């Protein structure tokens, strides 16, 4: 019993420890956040600690009931957008994504063609120095992979557009 009280006191200490946060902007405009006070630094006040709930999947796997979705109301002075304006913005966004997807597909085809052309052709300099050839092929392969990832990301984003 004598050990229980000190143990409880030790366990409660981390909840009492709070660190102040300071923001410092140097003469070049670089912003630094730190927990140690500096000359010219401004103390940042935080009202409360933000808590992010676990995703519903992890709660469902643990056997617990999933809590209903809570929506946070917008502040009263928050600008509102009517449905027609939002629909117009959504269609513009969709068109921009489709245009970007088309240009990425074109770039992907060009990168694949450049890689195919490079795999069969070596310049005299690359024959003398095979490492340059390997580096050039590596850059071309990276370009193909980058464009493939961009196409995938744009397709995923298009599926999320209303």
Asked if the structure places residue 58 within a domain, the reply is no
Least confident range of 30-39, 67-76, 142-151: 67-76
> What pLDDT band is residue 44 in, cutting at 50, 70 and 90?
confident
What sections of 72-129 are H helices per DSSP?
83-120, 124-128
Asked if the structure places residue 130 within a domain, the reply is yes
Asked if the structure places residue 110 within a domain, the reply is yes
pLDDT at 63: 54
Q: Is the pLDDT of residue 20 over 90?
A: no
The answer to whether 82 and 61 are in contact (CB under 8 A) is: no
Asked if the structure places residue 120 within a domain, the reply is yes
Q: Is the pLDDT of residue 65 over 60?
A: no
Q: What would the two tokens of residue 86 be?
A: 């939002």
Asked if the structure places residue 92 within a domain, the reply is yes
Asked if the structure places residue 97 within a domain, the reply is yes
pLDDT at 154: 93
Name the domain count of the chain.
Answer: 1
Asked if the structure places residue 54 within a domain, the reply is no
Looking at per-residue confidence, does 103 or 2 come out higher? 103
Asked if the structure places residue 16 within a domain, the reply is no
What are the backbone dihedrals phi and psi of residue 17, each rounded to the nearest 5 degrees, phi first? -80, 120
Looking at per-residue confidence, does 3 or 62 come out higher? 3
Q: Stretch 107-133: mean pLDDT, rounded?
A: 88
Residue 64's nearest CA partner among 74, 51, 77, 55 is 55
Query: Can you tell me the distance from the alpha carbon of 43 to that of 30, in angstroms, rounded to the nearest whole number?
Result: 17
Residue 134 belongs to what domain range?
Answer: 85-160
- Indicate the pTM of the whole model: 0.49
């Amino acid at each position: 019993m004598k050990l229980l009280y000190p143990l409880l006191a030790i366990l409660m200490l981390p909840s009492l420890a709070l660190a102040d946060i300071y923001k410092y902007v140097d003469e070049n405009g670089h912003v630094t956040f730190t927990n140690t006070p500096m000359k010219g630094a401004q103390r940042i006040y935080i009202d409360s600690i933000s808590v992010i709930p676990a995703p519903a999947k992890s709660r469902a796997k643990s056997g617990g009931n999933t809590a209903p979705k809570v929506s946070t109301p917008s502040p009263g002075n928050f600008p509102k957008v009517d449905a027609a304006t939002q629909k117009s913005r959504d269609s513009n966004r969709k068109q921009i994504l489709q245009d970007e997807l088309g240009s990425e597909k074109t770039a992907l085809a060009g990168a694949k063609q450049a890689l195919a052309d490079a795999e069969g052709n070596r310049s005299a300099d690359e024959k003398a120095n095979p490492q340059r050839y390997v580096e050039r092929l590596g850059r071309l392969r990276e370009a193909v992979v980058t464009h493939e990832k961009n196409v995938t990301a744009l397709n995923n984003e298009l599926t999320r557009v209303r």
